[in-house]
Amino acid sequence: MTDVLHAGLDLLDRQIVDRDGELVGKVDDLELTDPEDGPPRLVALLTGAQAYGTRLGGRLGGWIVSAAGRLGGTKQPVRIPFELVEKVGPSIRLSAAVSELERVERVDHWLRDNFIGRIPGAGNAPE
């Protein structure tokens, strides 16, 4: 993997897939260190509405974080350590299975099953 990544081009808003090809989420934000002796280093990928709301900021971002916290039970985003990233390309491939990740929220699946799936014709949409 390369030593230099461009956050906006190489990471943000990319799809994250586990080692088996299962979708994990999108990169909504990044966690960086701030060392005194060099440039910032990437520590983790953050995903989930909580991370996106924080990245968005403002009143709308705060509302997204609050709503996601109520639905998901926490206002903390899903944190994926960068050591688990196997490949950066059109998608971000992990070296672990989604079931091995500490906490992957499935609010999107809950919404799909309990809300969007009940809309007439929603079952005919391509995945």
Q: Structural domain of residue 107, as residue ranges?
A: 7-119
Q: Is residue 11 assigned to a domain?
A: yes
Domain membership flag for residue 63: yes
Q: Does 113 reside within a domain?
A: yes
Say which DSSP state 114 is in. Answer: H
Within a domain: residue 16? yes
Give residue 121's pLDDT band: very low, low, confident or very high (50, 70, 90): confident
Q: How confident is the model at residue 57 (pLDDT cuts 50, 70, 90)?
A: confident
pLDDT reading at 51 higher than 80: yes
Give the strand pairing for 91-94 and 15-17: parallel
125 within a domain of the structure (yes/no): no
Burial of residue 14 (CB within 10 Å: 0-12, 13-18, 19+) is middle
d(CA 121, CA 102): 35
Give the separation between CA 18 and CA 96, rounded to whole angstroms: 6
Closest C-alpha to 33, from 82, 78, 75: 82
* CATH number of domain containing 25: 2.30.30.240
At residue 115, the pLDDT reads: 63
Q: What pLDDT, in 10s, does the model give residues 7-43?
A: 888 899 899 999 999 888 889 899 999 888 888 889 9
pTM: 0.73
- Does 1 fall in a domain? no
At residue 9, the pLDDT reads 82
Amino acid 107: pLDDT: 55
The per-residue pLDDT for range 83-111, each reduced to its tens digit, is 999 999 999 999 998 878 766 655 556 66
